[in-house]
Amino acid sequence: MNMEINKMAGALLGSLLGVMGLGMFSDVLYAPDHMKKAGYDLPAGEAAGGKAEAAKPAGEPFPVLLAKADAKKGESLVKPCAACHDFTKPGVSKVGPPLYGVVGRAKAHVAGFAYSDPMKAKGGDWSFDELNKFIADPKKDIPGTKMAFAGEKDDAKRADIVAYLRTLSDSPLPLPAADAKPAEGAKPADGAKAAEHK
């Protein structure tokens, strides 16, 4: 009799644990899908064309955005990335490779991480500019990449993210020159603001 109750309690406990485990597991499994949806909502500008242009100032060159970028904001903007990436030093591989020191690092360079063939074939280092392009739209930048992330379409947010990635280094690379010719509509004061940096 007592044995029966014990067995039942055990079974109940077991299945509860199982359900909890499944929940955690599926969170991990399905996280990319949530993000995909969130990502597709963002690029209002792309399909809407002219409409979005009225709302947003004309795009500024990435180095200018980067000079104004806020690494602190970037640190919170990489929360979705943290589902797959470790940002600590030296870091461990999760679904994606660890990203400490990624700025200026050769692409597909973390030993032991199984990069996709297209990523391995891409070649070169992760410059500010290439990170910007990749994070904007991974699948477009490197077709066949196994990074299941829709992309961050907001230029300023991407600059914040890259500014944060830059800080993940023992000796952060100097920022690219921000005096690239300002986009039409950008005031010269922007350059000055960029220089004072927070």
Told to check if 163 binds ligand HEC by CB under 6 A, we report no
CA–CA dist 103, 22 (Å, integer): 36
Told to check if 66 binds ligand HEC by CB under 6 A, we report no
Min dist CB 99 to ligand HEC, Å, is 6
Name the residue nearer to ligand HEC (CB basis): 32 or 191.
Answer: 32
Q: Scanning residues 169 to 198, which ones bind ligand HEC (CB under 6 A)?
A: none
Span of 48-56, 65-73, 96-104, 167-175 interacting with ligand HEC by CB under 6 A: 96-104
Name the residue nearer to ligand HEC (CB basis): 46 or 117.
Answer: 117
Q: Which residues pair with 106 in a beta bridge?
A: 125
Q: Degrees (nearest 5) of the Cα angle 49, 164, 109?
A: 95
Selected from 73, 133, 139, 146, the binder of ligand HEC by CB under 6 A is 146
Q: List contacts with ligand HEC (CB under 6 A).
A: 32, 35, 78, 80-81, 83-85, 95-97, 99, 102, 107-110, 115-116, 119, 126, 131, 135, 145-149, 152, 161
